[in-house]
Amino acid sequence: MELMLKPEIFTYTKLSETEFKKYQEALLPVVVPLEQSPAWGNFNNTVAGREFLGSFSYTNASGKLVALASAILYSDRGRSWIWIKHGPLFAHEPNTDTIKNMCSTLKEQFQTIQSIQPLFIRLSMSQGIDKLRPPFEHTMYDETVIVDLENTEDEILAGMSQSGRAGIRKSAKLGVTVREITQDRSAFFAENCYPILRETGARDGFGIHPQTLYTSMLKELKNEARLYVATDKGKVEAWAITTEYNSQSMYYYGGSSAHARNTFAAYALHWEVIKEMRRRGNKTYDFMGIAGKNFEGLKNVTQFKIKFSKNIIKIPFTYDLPLQTLKYNLLSFILRAKRILK
């Protein structure tokens, strides 16, 4: 008869921002993404329905660092859950036992938060185990396009598709200009960019956040977020909010008008942003998600993004770790049934 070993519960400790930075350095060569930083957590504290629970270290019985994780509590549509976005971050590639132990630790840690009982924890893992479920709603992606900024500008151009290079040339010929907005960013976004985002969402069939999320991001992430716009005859036709953290830059949010297709404004925008991110010392520019095998909703943007690089990278899959299994299973069944009926 095989004995069932009790999972090890790691010691978890809430970290100050100074302590987090020390652990972040100890985690190298693993690179901590912005979404796992205290700065991202503090920004989320300004968003309605979200609460930053903190950044935590996890150590084993020998006192060795196993992982770091930053967690945000979401409350919406009558339910609460926790998202450890792009985490936990392990000091070493975890085996199955380490993943099981981490899941058991997280369940103990977040089973109850004050008077709230979250429904599940959403997290990223390199492999699935029986405790983890594929998410009942697609909130992440499993492949992305990354431009290597350690290459020269000529090498980056050579790595683009022919149509991508053509789009850059055509936008330059038509006089499209690109600039960073540094003053009154939130007000500028609200007046000039958010209407384009509403148009983009309606045209391409995806939902958008309330305007306050984007303006709060520009206000709170002063050192990490930037706003760039491409204009034709003085009118904004395409825009991008980018982020930078740990020498990783990312195209986080963006939109383009219908007219931008005629002027190739989005090509000019991203080419100038790529050059600027490179000048600022970043090593990568991440286009933040393509359709891959599991995320059909990103098909409309995938063809555009892969014109800038053939470097398609797989990222750890996002799973749900149920904390209230019966309620989670019921909700998952109801939502899947609704999608089938549609």
CATH class, range 11-137+318-341: alpha beta
- Say if 11-137+318-341 and 143-314 have the same CATH topology: yes
Q: Where are the domains of the chain?
A: 11-137+318-341, 143-314
Tokens 């398609």 found at: 312
Domain 143-314 part of CATH 3.40.50.1860: no
Residue 317 burial by Cβ neighbours in a 10 Å radius (0-12, 13-18, 19+): middle
From the CA atom positions of the chain, what is the Rg in Å? 21
Q: Please, which residues bridge with residue 231 across strands?
A: 177, 236
Q: How far is CA 271 from CA 14, 160, 278, in A?
A: 40, 11, 11
The mean pLDDT values, 10 residues at a time, for the chain of 342 residues are: 71 96 92 96 96 97 96 91 96 95 96 88 92 82 92 96 96 97 96 93 81 96 97 96 97 94 96 98 92 65 88 90 92 80 69
| Residue 206 to residue 107: CA distance in whole angstroms | 32
273 with 250: CB under 8 angstroms? no
Q: What's the confidence (pLDDT) of residue 58?
A: 97
Nearest Cα neighbor of 225 from 30, 16, 32, 34 is 34
Of 273, 275, 274, 309, which Cα lies nearest the Cα of 290? 309
pLDDT of residue 1: 40
Q: Which two tokens stand for residue 20?
A: 């987090």
Amino acid at 123: L
> pTM here?
0.91
How far apart are the C-alpha atoms of 84 and 87, rounded to whole Å? 5
pLDDT at 342: 65
CA 262 to chain centre: 30
The neighbouring-strand residues paired with 42 are: none
